[in-house]
A and B are shown apart, each in its own frame.
Chain A
């Protein structure tokens, strides 16, 4: 049984359903750690006091909110927790909506709920009612000092919980400048495009999609580990078509892509890295350059924090 992330109660009218929260997802992306390109050594993240220039243990830190430049209001973790209110342990279902009314932009992370202590009967009742009504319960809950809008629904034999974004967390499309074309697409072009949409329509089968890049990346890592040099990729040239209608008609006629990979769905090609070295579960074991200092493992980095330090650079 996986470990639960949160214990609490769902308030469904006057019915109280104790529940446990479990993660529904796990990333399978290839994980990287930061290394020093000069000597290949590990990179450690250290908390340093700007004023004294020395390393600070976590116990000596406090959270501050910057009210004006350089001026902070400090709050203890207990004081911050007072904002949690009852939502820290209770999800009150406020409304029930249709799932199809919720746009995908609202969804954040997916979890599953299991019954908490003595909650099996009320859990089964809520599950049965959600399933029968085909509706989604909408409520709010507080997790890790942050409130989330949540959607609760019956999914197979369990209740699924989705955290969602609040309306003001969405960027209105109007905030971005979308240039209007000088010449609008003609009816002929739109209908040719619609025909192409029809031609490419099918039902969604999640099993048909595999992360092919994960495999390609592991293969490349293997080549590099053998000392091969990796050639820089040819720049991919993309120019907008002048003749949209011609391109649509050629697409409809099945002329295929100009320079595409084999089209979808990708078959399960036998993996060519069957003999590749397998990744080790945890870094910093024997043979690895110096171990990360205790206590700093949380801040030692994957590609995630590389992003936060350099937002737009890594993708180009």
Chain B
């Protein structure tokens, strides 16, 4: 098994659950190496001491913090731990909250917690069994990589899953953006039609419905290039950055056309929503027959 990114223990009341932390996500991106254009040889990044003009080996790299007078304070890993020795080794569960209460804006990265050995398996099983059927997450905090993280822990697929969260002051206010919005309040009819479109496209969230086509496309491009084929420039439509707009007089027509198209597709059995589509339960009764307005 890979090396854990962090190991320590979860403290739940007086119960300690030793855990090792692994990433819950994996990188599937297509990665490129930077090459030197004329000879196509790899380029590597070297760390060089600015004063001595010579390469610096990794053990001689320190973390520096600049004070306002321009002086630098260098910190070691031990210093970082000394700032909060306990939080560097334990995740103290402070409370439990409903998962749905946490706004997704706070979620950052996710990890899986695993008992490091059989001795820890029982306490781990106790906590995961206790939390398995609840909609609650345990909130706590710990220090990893010189940063304190607020975390939410819950059970997913039988494993304790930890998601790091941002602190309240790391979330920006949207007030400035909201203040700039200067449009007409939509009419009731428009909102009802828009909600009807939403209901028609309503599904139960199924992540397997969505594939990263960009990644697949990039792999095809690499393959074509490898075979010596030319890569055609992106079509104009894709490169044109000019955003499109449906302006106010056309909104109702566009909504009605949307409904007609979606319902037409559903009726013809070529629903975009696939097996997960389900009839809209709460679609508001239509006040008039859907009519496709032809817009010039």
Known contacts A23-B172, A193-B127, A279-B67; is A13 also within 8 Å of B261 by CB?
A: yes
Q: What's the Cα separation between A105 and B23 when bound, in Å? A: 11
Known contacts A204-B102, A217-B80; is A114 also within 8 Å of B177 by CB?
A: yes
B residues near A225, Cβ cutoff 8 Å: 67, 71, 73
Asked if A294 CB lies within 8 Å of chain B CBs, one says no
Distance in angstroms from A49 CB to nearest chain B CB is: 4
Asked if A273 CB lies within 8 Å of chain B CBs, one says no
Known contacts A1-B180, A125-B186, A233-B88; is A289 also within 8 Å of B51 by CB?
A: yes
Distance in angstroms from A199 CB to nearest chain B CB is: 9
Please name the residue on chain B nearest to A102 by beta carbon: B205
A residues near B46, Cβ cutoff 8 Å: 45-46, 48
In contact, B148 and A251 (Cβ under 8 angstroms)? no
Give the one of B42, B48, B60 with max A CB within 10 A: B48
In contact, A102 and B104 (Cβ under 8 angstroms)? yes
Q: What's the Cα separation between A158 and B177 when bound, in Å? A: 7
Name the one of B28, B88, B141, B222 contacting A73, with C-beta atoms under 8 angstroms.
Answer: B222
In contact, B246 and A14 (Cβ under 8 angstroms)? yes
In contact, A179 and B117 (Cβ under 8 angstroms)? yes
In contact, A171 and B82 (Cβ under 8 angstroms)? no
Contact with A along B42-75 (1 / 0, CB 8 A): 1111111111100010101111111111111111
In contact, B247 and A104 (Cβ under 8 angstroms)? no
In contact, B195 and A230 (Cβ under 8 angstroms)? no
In contact, A40 and B64 (Cβ under 8 angstroms)? yes
Q: Report A11-52 residues with CB < 8 Å from chain B CB.
A: 12-19, 22-52
Q: Report A168-199 residues with CB < 8 Å from chain B CB.
A: 168-174, 176-185, 189-190, 193-194, 196-197
Contact with A along B143-172 (1 / 0, CB 8 A): 111111010101011110101001111111
Distance in angstroms from A72 CB to nearest chain B CB is: 6
B residues near A32, Cβ cutoff 8 Å: 63-65, 75, 146
In contact, B5 and A312 (Cβ under 8 angstroms)? yes
In contact, B34 and A61 (Cβ under 8 angstroms)? yes
Contact with A along B190-214 (1 / 0, CB 8 A): 1100110111011111011111111
Please name the residue on chain B nearest to A252 by beta carbon: B13
Q: What's the Cα separation between A276 and B170 when bound, in Å? A: 22
Name the one of B28, B58, B104, B194 contacting A126, with C-beta atoms under 8 angstroms.
Answer: B194
Interface size range of chain A in the complex = 35 or more
In contact, B197 and A236 (Cβ under 8 angstroms)? no
Give the one of B37, B101, B143, B202 with max A CB within 10 A: B37
In contact, B5 and A316 (Cβ under 8 angstroms)? no
Asked if A309 CB lies within 8 Å of chain B CBs, one says yes
Tell me what chain A mostly uses at the interface: helix, strand, loop, or mixed: mixed
Q: What's the Cα separation between A48 and B45 when bound, in Å? A: 6
Q: What's the Cα separation between A107 and B32 when bound, in Å? A: 25
In contact, A290 and B50 (Cβ under 8 angstroms)? yes
Give the one of A40, A65, A102, A265 with max B CB within 10 A: A65
In contact, A84 and B234 (Cβ under 8 angstroms)? yes
B residues near A177, Cβ cutoff 8 Å: 1, 114
Name the one of A24, A120, A181, A315 contacting B125, with C-beta atoms under 8 angstroms.
Answer: A181
Q: What's the Cα separation between A36 and B202 when bound, in Å? A: 56
In contact, A50 and B44 (Cβ under 8 angstroms)? yes
In contact, A25 and B171 (Cβ under 8 angstroms)? yes
Known contacts A133-B195, A157-B178, A292-B50; is A179 also within 8 Å of B74 by CB?
A: no
Asked if B266 CB lies within 8 Å of chain A CBs, one says no
Name the one of B23, B83, B159 contacting A178, with C-beta atoms under 8 angstroms.
Answer: B159
Please name the residue on chain A nearest to B38 by beta carbon: A60
In contact, A94 and B272 (Cβ under 8 angstroms)? yes
In contact, B102 and A104 (Cβ under 8 angstroms)? yes
A residues near B146, Cβ cutoff 8 Å: 29-30, 32, 217, 303, 314
B residues near A275, Cβ cutoff 8 Å: none
In contact, A232 and B29 (Cβ under 8 angstroms)? no
Known contacts A49-B39, A97-B202; is A166 also within 8 Å of B207 by CB?
A: yes
In contact, B33 and A72 (Cβ under 8 angstroms)? yes
In contact, B61 and A155 (Cβ under 8 angstroms)? no
Please name the residue on chain B nearest to A198 by beta carbon: B96
Q: Report A234-286 residues with CB < 8 Å from chain B CB.
A: 234, 236, 238-241, 244, 247-248, 250-252, 255, 257-261, 263-265, 277-280, 283, 285-286
In contact, A117 and B243 (Cβ under 8 angstroms)? yes
In contact, B25 and A169 (Cβ under 8 angstroms)? yes
In contact, B194 and A233 (Cβ under 8 angstroms)? no
Q: What's the Cα separation between A118 and B248 when bound, in Å? A: 9
Q: What's the Cα separation between A110 and B121 when bound, in Å? A: 35
Name the one of A219, A220, A240 contacting B17, with C-beta atoms under 8 angstroms.
Answer: A240
In contact, A34 and B234 (Cβ under 8 angstroms)? no
In contact, B125 and A84 (Cβ under 8 angstroms)? no
19 A-B pairs besides A13-B197, A83-B221, A239-B16 with CB distance below 8 A are A7-B241, A13-B262, A24-B105, A32-B63, A34-B47, A34-B64, A42-B49, A104-B161, A122-B248, A124-B184, A124-B186, A129-B195, A156-B174, A181-B125, A214-B148, A241-B15, A277-B68, A290-B51, A315-B88
**23 residue pairs from A and B, CB less than 8 Å apart:** A1-B176, A2-B176, A26-B172, A33-B66, A38-B49, A48-B43, A52-B36, A64-B42, A82-B233, A86-B238, A89-B243, A110-B107, A125-B194, A125-B251, A128-B191, A133-B195, A210-B169, A236-B86, A252-B13, A261-B86, A277-B68, A279-B66, A316-B77
- The 8 A-B pairs with the shortest beta carbon distances in the complex, nearest first, are A13-B258, A251-B13, A287-B70, A120-B183, A213-B148, A147-B214, A35-B64, A129-B194
